[in-house]
Amino acid sequence: MKPRVETGNSPVLLAQPHGGTEIPESILKRLNSEGHVRADTDWHIGRLYEGLLSDATIVSTALHRYVIDANRDPQDEPLYPGQNTTSLCPTTTFDGSDIYLTGQAPSADEIQQRQLLYHQPYHDVLAEQLERIHQLHGYVILYDCHSIRSLIPFLFEGKLADFNIGTNSGSSCDLSIESTVKSLCNCATEFDTVTNGRFKGGWTTRHYGQPQRGYHTIQMELAQCNYMLEQAPWHYDSDRAARLRVILADILTNLATVLG
């Protein structure tokens, strides 16, 4: 299954690795009832960001993260050593519950095969688009779009902040990019913001962020309570989303000119 690409000429690229819900039948039949729920989706992320930045490039995948997590190290090195998390081919939910039927979890060989079939093509396309945009502008800003339930005790204590900005502790982008996003989030006083807290940026942010070469990356992890129902059937809340979209549009519009 090929990644989805919408090409544009803005210096900002939106990556959406976790919004897909499709699971091949050969894998789906091995999942238990927890796996079939697909609770750990970045639900409606494409809809939430749709139309917020004119001429932006968008790279996404229709595959669910239970097939392959496109924001994990291809060698499955942990992003947050010592903390609870999920793997390249997850076998548990964000709550720590098994998602496979007994004895049906993927083997090391299958994980390697999935990496080649699904993870590598996504990053091949992403790298190609980053290079294209870099050639147009002399720099590129990769904005990695994510969302997650606001309460997941297995992963973090208490309620997650509304805006969770990740720049790999400031190393993945120019300081002006981080400060612009932080400032705009902080101006939205009905929401709270954390920078490089529980979410410092996944493999995408860390791998592609080379600001000295003009490749800037920043991850935004949003608390889903601000735009949707955080339990099945995961309905999109247009009224709440509309308030959030105003802020996100302001962020993206400013990012498109911050280095220009």
pLDDT in tens, 96-138: 999 999 999 999 999 999 999 999 999 999 999 999 999 999 9
Task: Provide the pLDDT confidence category of residue 239 given band limits of 50, 70 and 90.
Answer: very high
Q: Alpha-carbon distance 228 to 211, whole Å?
A: 34
Where is 182: in which H helix or E strand? Answer: helix 175-187
- The structure's pTM equals 0.96
Q: Alpha-carbon distance 5 to 129, whole Å?
A: 9
The angle formed by the CA atoms of residues 20, 210 and 19, to the nearest 5 degrees, is 5
Domain of 115, in residue numbers: 4-258
Task: Find the mean pLDDT for residues 16-30.
Answer: 98
**Residue whose entry in the numeric block shows the structure tokens 């339990």:** 231
Residue 85 has pLDDT above 90, yes or no: no
Of 208, 74, 203, 47, nearest in space to 133 by CA:
208
My answer on whether omega of the bond before 11 falls inside 30° of 0, hence cis, is: no
Residue 169 has pLDDT above 80, yes or no: yes
DSSP letter at 256 equals H
Q: Alpha-carbon distance 120 to 113, whole Å?
A: 10
Residue 153 has pLDDT above 90, yes or no: yes
C-beta separation of 3 from 59 below 8 A = yes
Q: What is the spatial order of strands in the sheet that 215-223 belongs to?
A: 4-6, 57-60, 12-16, 140-148, 215-223, 163-166, 193-195
Task: Provide the pLDDT confidence category of residue 50 given band limits of 50, 70 and 90.
Answer: very high
| 38 φψ region: left (φ > 0), alpha (ψ -120 to 50), beta (else) | left
Task: Provide the pLDDT confidence category of residue 77 given band limits of 50, 70 and 90.
Answer: confident
Residue 24 has pLDDT above 80, yes or no: yes
C-beta separation of 193 from 247 below 8 A = no
pLDDT of residue 76: 84
Task: Find the mean pLDDT for residues 17-35.
Answer: 98
Task: Find the mean pLDDT for residues 21-50.
Answer: 98
Q: Alpha-carbon distance 173 to 217, whole Å?
A: 5
Q: Alpha-carbon distance 114 to 68, whole Å?
A: 7
Handedness of CA 60, 128, 184, 211 (dihedral sign): positive
DSSP letter at 41 equals S
Task: Find the mean pLDDT for residues 229-234.
Answer: 96
Task: Provide the pLDDT confidence category of residue 191 given band limits of 50, 70 and 90.
Answer: very high
Q: Residue 150 maps to which CATH number?
A: 3.40.630.40
Q: Alpha-carbon distance 102 to 44, whole Å?
A: 31
Mean pLDDT of the chain: 96
Number of domains in the chain: 1
